Amino acid sequence: MTTDLSIIELIMGASLIVKLVMLSLVLASLTSWTMIFSKHKILNDARKQADKFEEVFWSTEDLTPLYTRISSKRVKTAGMEKLFDAGFKEFARLKKQKNIDPDAILEGAQRAMRVTLNKEIEALEQNLPFLATVGSTSPYIGLFGTVWGIMNSFRSLGSVQQATISMVAPGISEALIATAMGLFAAIPAVIAYNRYSNDVERLINRYDTFTEEFSSILHRFAHS
């Protein structure tokens, strides 16, 4: 309890610049943790949705009822469902046109899926740049607060005749707190960024694979 109070006292007794550094690190940490939990749920839901849709897709012989069911959903589609919806919708639209080349039909469907895929990738990668920024800059921000606090501590020694460790210890301690806060903000952000970047890449590869496989199916339909 005494240690907690002494840390609070050190923070409250810090200079304005060090306090601003600590405040910015606390805000960065809280924001990154919010994004970490949010991104975990988004990616977890995306994986489950992909697993569920692939099971339904590959067990369905006629894709038209599947498209009708997905397109009539009130809930907004995402992931593989959205890729399938966009590709089949454009394929069906072009298929109805007379005297149109089958390759043009397939190309139109692939183009629609590519546009949708790019949007899905953008949604999956959202907030990852912020985590990378927090992970790479927070230690340096904390180090700046540390350097500033130590500099002030040694500057205060110029007005005394005899310097003791007890005179500079509080200033150095408050300065080191800034470094600790910088690491506290950076480490979770770096770990989350690396993990989620890998998860996003795996999902994108799954989406790419599905797009190629679905294009092969549409190719047979277009030339039938």
pLDDT along the chain (224 residues), means of 10: 55 76 92 96 94 91 88 82 93 87 92 95 94 95 86 68 60 80 94 96 95 92 78
Q: Is residue 124 part of a domain?
A: yes
| CA distance linking residue 84 with residue 64, whole number of Å | 11
In a domain, 9, yes or no: no
Residue 200: CB atoms within 10 A of its CB come to 20
Q: Which residues of 122-158 are buried (b: 16+ CB within 10 A; e: fewer)?
A: eebeebbeebbebbebbbebbbbbbebbbebbeeeee
Structural domain for 166, as ranges: 14-222
- Please return the burial class of 33, using the count of CB atoms within 10 Å of its CB with bins 0-12, 13-18 and 19+: middle
Count of structural domains within the chain: 1
Is there a contact between 207 and 83 (Cβ–Cβ < 8 Å)? yes
Decide if 37 is inside a domain: yes
Residue 6, in any domain of the structure: no
pLDDT at 5: 43
| 5 in a structural domain | no
Q: Is residue 4 part of a domain?
A: no
In a domain, 204, yes or no: yes
The pLDDT of residue 102 is 87
